[in-house]
Amino acid sequence: MSSTILITRQLPESVLERLGAACQYRIGVVSGSITREALLTGLDGVEGLICQLTDRIDEAVIEAGSKLRIIANVAVGYNNIDVEAATRRGIHVTNTPDVLTDATADLTWALILSVTRRIVEADAFLRAGRFDGWDFEMLLGSGLTGKTLGLIGYGRIGRAVARRAAGFGVNVQYCSREDVAFRDDPRYQSRAVPSSPLASPINQSAHFDGLAARHVSFYELVESADIVSLHTPLAPTTRHLIDRETFRRMKPGSYLINTARGPIVDESALVEALDAGHLAGAGLDVFEDEPRVHPGLLQRQNVVLLPHIGSATLETRTAMARLAVDNVMDWIAGRMPRNKVN
């Protein structure tokens, strides 16, 4: 008898056709998010789950899926899934890396340009009928040439953002996940051998795809970057990584960009740093408590706010759906799912 898969939210027809040839599937909702009740009852008799980052797959949900063998998230981030609980029950968990790297890196640059050149503010200014002729000092922004971009997290997306920096004449510094996790441990700062093959020792340059990016410690990065951009997963070591103390250490007049996960930033501390004029602006695609946005951000002109659209191109979302289905089809065919994370 063929396997049954629950797909929490409708995926493109072309992708579903392939899956339909290999198994039976049910769809939770056509748009929006499946309710918790529908998720819990929908898991009855189901071996595979294809879910979205808005679906909270906690221990209770995993327990409700007594036959569950694979959970395929249609996202690269999988902080919505209790991976430990799944692993304890021998359930594969997969994500969708690579296919969204370029779209997310492009959007990061869209935010960098939007905040530094005041694009959204300028558009609103014109639409409000306030453009009554060119003026020498109208809507002056901040130039990028010669500035320093600090990337917190230097995985696929961080490196794709770095590659694009060369075209803007921007210097790149980065710190890795390890630099973040051990940022307050003095022994780690003086280590001789980097633990990641992509990381050079601190204060040396890593060459990747012909690109020179300087590897610095977390604190050196926040203290010297003109733009700090976040590209690290949400984990216990990164929750509120950008807090009051980090903002205090950030360069006056610098910008914060977040296309990773909202809870990496303490939003109240961000609002304080903006109110104090310490930060020049912020570009945010993700929020601490989505879809809620801190009211102190909504009123600000120097903040660009996007509704979590980092990977939102037709091509990318189709590729993400296809990859999630490929992982399930790997499992159906008795192979190891290609993007297993546990």
Q: How far is the CB of 86 from ligand DGY (least distance, A)?
A: 17
Q: Which is nearer to ligand DGY, 100 or 110 (CB)?
A: 100
Closest to 6 measured CA to CA, from 59, 58, 74, 60? 74
- Chain positions 219 to 278 lying near ligand DGY, rule: CB under 6 A, are none
> Residue 105 corresponds to which tokens in the numbers above?
């890196």
310, 321, 329, 331: residue in contact with ligand DGY (rule CB under 6 A): 310
311, 323, 324, 337: residue in contact with ligand DGY (rule CB under 6 A): 311
Contact 118, 141 (CB under 8 A): yes
Q: Which is nearer to ligand DGY, 40 or 341 (CB)?
A: 341
Q: N- to C-terminal Cα distance for the chain?
A: 27
Asked if the bond preceding 295 is cis, omega within 30° of 0, the reply is no
Q: Which is nearer to ligand DGY, 77 or 153 (CB)?
A: 77
At 4 the three-state DSSP class reads: strand
Bridge partner list, 9: 29
From 240, 244, 290, 300, the catalytic residue? 290
Q: Which is nearer to ligand DGY, 151 or 202 (CB)?
A: 151
From 117, 239, 278, 308, the catalytic residue? 308
Q: How far is the CB of 52 from ligand DGY (least distance, A)?
A: 9
Q: How far is CA 299 from the centre of its chain?
A: 24
Q: Which is nearer to ligand DGY, 320 or 332 (CB)?
A: 320
- Chain positions 64 to 103 lying near ligand DGY, rule: CB under 6 A, are 75-77, 100
Q: Which is nearer to ligand DGY, 166 or 341 (CB)?
A: 341
Q: Give the sign of the dihedral formed by CA 273, CA 274, CA 276, CA 279.
A: positive
| H/E segment holding residue 270 | helix 267-275
Q: How far is the CB of 110 from ligand DGY (least distance, A)?
A: 15
State the Cα–Cα distance between residues 191 and 272, nearest whole angstrom: 35
- Told to check if 53 binds ligand DGY by CB under 6 A, we report yes
Check if 47 is active-site. no
Stretch 100-119: interaction string toward ligand DGY, x if CB under 6 A: x-------------------
Closest to 265 measured CA to CA, from 281, 296, 299, 289? 289
Strand extents, DSSP E, the chain: 4-9, 24-29, 48-51, 70-73, 92-94, 148-152, 171-175, 204-208, 211-215, 227-230, 254-258, 279-284, 303-305
State the Cα–Cα distance between residues 339 and 292, nearest whole angstrom: 31
State the Cα–Cα distance between residues 285 and 321, nearest whole angstrom: 21
Check if 290 is active-site. yes
Binding footprint of ligand DGY, residue count (CB under 6 A): 7
Stretch 170-209: interaction string toward ligand DGY, x if CB under 6 A: ----------------------------------------
From 118, 177, 261, 294, the catalytic residue? 261
Q: How far is the CB of 76 from ligand DGY (least distance, A)?
A: 4
State the Cα–Cα distance between residues 153 and 117, nearest whole angstrom: 25
Q: How far is the CB of 53 from ligand DGY (least distance, A)?
A: 6
Closest to 39 measured CA to CA, from 23, 55, 22? 55
Q: How far is the CB of 258 from ligand DGY (least distance, A)?
A: 11
Q: Which is nearer to ligand DGY, 100 or 270 (CB)?
A: 100
Query: Which residues bind to ligand DGY, rule: CB under 6 A?
Result: 53, 75-77, 100, 310-311
Residues marked active site are found at: 261, 290, 308
